[in-house]
Amino acid sequence: MAQTNVNIRMDEATKIAFDKFCDEIGLSVSAAFNIFAKTVVREQRIPFDLTTDTPNEETRRAIENVEKGREISRGFHSVAELMEDLYADD
C-alpha cells in the first residue's frame, strides 16, 4: 500500500510527553497515530469519550459514593415524607 505523509501540529510539551510515552511502550509516534487512525476507520468513531464536562473532585466523590452505595440518604415513600425529613431539625 502506498504511504503518505501527515503533518500534525501540537504544543511542544505535549509532543515531548507523547514521544516519551511512545518510547516507553515501544512504539514510534508514527505507529501510535496509525493505530489511532485505523481504529477510527474500523469503528467509525473516536475510540474514547470526548467530553467538555469534567467533574470536580467533590462531584467525582459523590458519583463514586452513589455507585458504591455509600453515604446515600434513605428512601422516601412520598413527597410529604421527603419534605418532612428535609425540614426536620437535625
Q: What is the pLDDT of residue 88?
A: 87
Residue 32's nearest CA partner among 54, 51, 14 is 14
The answer to whether residue 90 scores a pLDDT higher than 70 is: no
Report pLDDT digits (tens) over 39-61.
999 999 999 988 888 888 999 89
User: Which three cell numbers mark 61?
Assistant: 466523590
Report pLDDT digits (tens) over 5-51.
999 999 999 999 999 999 999 999 999 999 999 999 999 999 998 88
Cα(32)–Cα(26) distance, integer angstroms: 10
Residue 36's nearest CA partner among 2, 6, 1 is 6
Domain segments of the chain: what residues?
Answer: 57-87
